[in-house]
Amino acid sequence: MHAGAGHAYTTTAIALHWIIAALIAAGFSLGWTMTRIPGITPDKLRFFSWHKWIGVTVLAFALTRIVWRATHRAPPLPANMSAWQRCAANAVHIALYLLMIAIPVSGYLYSSAANVPVVYLGIVPLPKLIAPDSALKAWLKTVHIVLDYALFVLVLGHAAAAVKHEWIDRDGLLRRMLPFLK
């Protein structure tokens, strides 16, 4: 039996997955772009603000998704999936959830250590959680960047595995998150 046959994620889980995926892609793209703009320009400052807003939004949606996932069981993996693939799938999902929390938190703490306020959507000032500290700022910047690239690699692996299951294994696994493929 195909995983896609009657075993899709809930509409809420699918919506949260794709909203978070789009936000992460936008946040990563903005981060990549803004850090390559030399000096301090109005565009660079605007991009930094948008990047922070996206990070706060990803954190909120990720926490929502974790609560949803804790209260709504994921559809079963295909019965013919090997034990190592099941283990890898579970490990990658846990790592993705952890990174969806750790990356925005590290960015937020980095802003606090840099003494740069985070004003969500330009309206809601968020509290500084730590005092300005140049050494901590440098460390948090590195942590934030390393975690970003770890997420990038995991997302690529996650997407590649989904495509492999759809086109090579033909087990319908991708249809659980893309029900319109039926």
How far apart are alpha carbons 70 and 82 in whole angstroms? 24
Contact 86, 161 (CB under 8 A): no
Predicted confidence at residue 173, as pLDDT, reads 81
For residue 7, pLDDT over 80 is answered with no
Provide, for the chain, the percentages of residues in helix, strand and coil under a 3-state DSSP scheme, each rounded to the nearest 5: 70, 0, 25
Q: Which helix (H) or strand (E) holds 124?
A: strand 124-125
Predicted confidence at residue 181, as pLDDT, reads: 61
End-to-end Cα, the chain, rounded Å: 14
Domains and CATH numbers, the chain: 11-181 (1.20.950.20)
Please answer whether residues 8 and 75 qualify as being in contact, where contact means their C-beta atoms are separated by less than 8 angstroms. Answer: yes
Burial of 168 from C-beta contacts in 10 A (0-12 / 13-18 / 19+): exposed
As a whole-number percent, the residues of the chain with pLDDT over 90 amount to 80
Distance (Å, whole) CA 148 – CA 153:
9
Pairing mode of beta strands 119-120, 124-125: antiparallel
pLDDT: is 181 or 3 the higher one?
A: 181
Amino acid 165: pLDDT: 86
Report yes or no on whether pTM surpasses 0.85.
Answer: yes
